[in-house]
Amino acid sequence: MHRIRLCRVRISRPAAPLDTFPKRPRPPHCFSTSRPSPSMERVYLDHAATTPLDPEVFEVMKPYLLEEYGNASSVHQLGRQARVAMEGARERVADCLWAESSEIVFTSGGTEADNLALKGVLGAASTEAGSEAGLVTSTAEHKAVVEPARRMMEQGRPVTLLSPDAHGAVTPEQVEAALDEDTALVSLMHTNNEIGVQTDIPAVAAVCDKHDVLLHCDAVQAAGLQPLDVEALGVDLLSLSGHKFYGPKGIGVLYVRNGVDLGPLVEGGSQERDRRGGTQNVAGAIGLAEALERAVTEAEERAERLTRLQRRLVVGLDEAVPGPYVCNTPLDEAPVAPHVVNVAFPPVGDEPLDGEMLILNLDMQGILVSAGSACTSGALEPSHVLTALGLDRPTASAAVRFSLGAKTTEEDIDEALDALHSTLQRMR
């Protein structure tokens, strides 16, 4: 048999003169022509998205990544050591929340914790009742709650999506009016991740308790800045995510009050007392516990310092922003987190501001912030939180969320304001 060898043949073509290629028009709102030098200092103002891992937390984790690497489900020595470390981390987290260690479920993060709370509680309640158990939540929740809620609606489960008040919070009166005989769970955020407004969770808990309904609280943005005593809050379930308070990514917590019937979201193992199957992330749990302890200890000091920086940023906006803007974080009108300021820029005349290009231009100047919207398949979609507040689409699509952190300084705030001023002047 003869083998035929296939070859690629390169065909050379004469190069076309440069002036024969059509020039593409420059978009009206394009990047700055300046490029940051490799040595440019970055001002990171996106701590609501993630925080840097505390080096001291990493040092505590290292032995369980390199030497004490056993599977906590194994019965040999390394496995037993890992299990002891895992349960120690569970105890430490429980102490921070004024909970019992048996009430702590480790997850892969806040999104999984939210999904486990909703699907686990409602699935178990529906099985017990023999009918579809209902959910009450709001349109301004994190997508980890809103998307499962909408999917449940599509599947025929009774779901009520409340509209937030003018500041973005949900009132106890709204919750009480929405409860009916089918409602098994209310899920509301403690601190909104986009605008920082806080809901009165203890007051909502009192309503839920009166009607014998469970309450889940996404407290991801509150951890380390607000007291999270689960007894004082009155919650039945509470979600946390390690990387929001200088712990590692890929690890979270769902607090589940003893006695709450919770079906598993992830099946395939008996870990986490049959509530979350899969090999346990020992190093991650230890890192989360260490970071949470540090955050709880320093919470008051951190919050006071961030409040001063937040005020400096808000006061500076009037001078920095050429033209109209909307501050979506109601600092003087409602309780808010100390680390978030959300600002949107309405159209000037008939000309909307390109929100994505605004973020990228700030990035080119070393200012790292988030938009109040998400880029999906190349199309900029307005934030569901901002549209729930009643902002029109062009304004909601041109929003910036500044979120401050442990290393943020007054100089960082001033640099961000300067960059915002020059960028908006150029774009407008």
Residue in the block written with tokens 């920086």: 309
Evaluate if residue 3 carries a pLDDT over 90: no
Helix (H) or strand (E) holding 81: helix 77-97
Q: Please name each of the domains of the chain with its CATH number.
A: 44-51+299-427 (3.90.1150.10), 55-294 (3.40.640.10)
Cβ atoms < 10 Å from Cβ of 184: 21
C-alpha distances in angstroms, 317 versus 128, 136, 160, 395? 54, 37, 37, 17
Which candidate, 92, 147, 87, places its Cα nearest to that of 115?
Answer: 147
pLDDT tens digit string along 17-58? 434 334 434 344 443 444 455 456 899 999 999 999 999 999
Query: Is there a catalytic annotation at residue 375?
Result: yes
The closest alpha carbon to 86, from 108, 101, 67, belongs to: 101
Q: What is the mean pLDDT of the chain?
A: 89
Cα–Cα distance between 418 and 402 in angstroms, integer?
A: 14
pLDDT tens digits along 88-132:
999 999 999 999 999 999 999 999 999 999 999 999 998 887 789
Q: How far apart are CA 142 and CA 217, in angstroms?
A: 11
pLDDT single digits (tens) 156-170: 999 999 999 989 999
**The one catalytic residue among 7, 208, 217, 375:** 375
Q: Is the pLDDT of residue 134 over 90?
A: yes
Q: How far is Cα 356 from Cα 326, in angstroms, rounded to an integer?
A: 17
Contacts of 133 (CB under 8 A, 6+ apart): 121, 122, 125, 126, 157, 158, 182, 183, 184, 185
In angstroms, the CA 305 to CA 408 distance is: 10
User: Which pLDDT belongs to residue 382?
Assistant: 87
Q: What is the pLDDT averaged over residues 1-5? A: 39
